[in-house]
Amino acid sequence: MTNSSSVQQHEHIAHYLRSAIKEGTFSTGDPLPTEAELSRRFETSRGPVRQAMSTLRAEGLISSGRGRRSVVLDKVSTQSFDDVISFSQWCRKSGIQPGQKTQWVARRKAEAALAAQLEISDCDPVVSVYRLRLMDGAPAMVERLNYPLSVGRHVLAFDTDAGSIYQELIDNGVDINHATRTIDAVGADQEDADLLEVPVGTPLLRVRRRAFTLEGTPVEYSDDRYLPWKASFTMNSTREHPNALSMVSDASYVN
């Protein structure tokens, strides 16, 4: 078997298991088929099966096994805290079809709090986007994206219903090197509740992100609000490579 076919088989097996967990064929606590059973089912060696299982473990969906059969830990799609910035890329990696419905795109003047996040002057021009994001056609998240005009000009020229803004910026040479994220919970306001089709006050998982160039210049400030049963976040760290995760109490933020 060639390397390319092995990769395709590994992705195919991972998609099958991920879908079976999502649809309830395997419930939380259920054991998964053994490597031998999956090898027979997909007519492959154990290598692609192990790759697929490793993918699902990294996503937080199944246990490590450690000599025993892996069991289902969760059916909620997970995103690594250090993963790609793009919602579209994350969905596709998880076997989910991403979508979007843009509510508005605007060039406006930055209020003081937003200007501070982007490290620009008050009233400097910014480009802001408000979109509903979909997972397999269903509402999943609302996003508020904000860019300094030097970056946002690419967004103004882009059909934001067409796909990934992140990919469009990369394709136009925008340097998005790293990001910081702050995660907390907020209640859905009327605007978000209407889009997400939930009652006002429904708890949402909020992820506020600042993205930077290699030199540390902010190029994006975003506020993403997920339905908690649509997404969760995982973080993997080791003693040798600790992750700079911190817990803070901070009442100052941009709404």
pLDDT at 172 over 80: yes
Q: Is residue 201 within 8 Å of 187, Cβ to Cβ?
A: yes
Q: What is the pLDDT of residue 81?
A: 45
Q: Helix (H, G, I), strand (E, B), or coil: what is residue 127?
A: strand
In terms of domains, do 12 and 134 share one? no
In terms of domains, do 173 and 228 share one? yes
252 found inside a domain: no
CATH of the domain at 110: 3.40.1410.10
Residue that the structure tokens 């199944």 belong to? 62
Q: What is the pLDDT of residue 236?
A: 60
Structure letter (DSSP) for residue 110: P
For 139, phi and psi rounded to 5 degrees? Answer: -55, 135
Question: E strands within 110-248?
Answer: 125-135, 138-148, 178-187, 203-212, 218-226, 232-234
Please tell me the pTM assigned to this model: 0.68
Assigned token pair, 57:
């473990």
70 found inside a domain: no
In terms of domains, do 98 and 216 share one? yes
pLDDT band at 101, cuts 50/70/90? very high
pLDDT at 250 over 50: no
User: pLDDT digit string (tens) for 121-151?
Assistant: 999 999 999 999 999 999 999 999 999 999 9
DSSP β-bridge partners for residue 184: 206
pLDDT at 65 over 70: no
17 found inside a domain: yes
In terms of domains, do 51 and 92 share one? no
Give the domain range for residue 124. Answer: 78-234
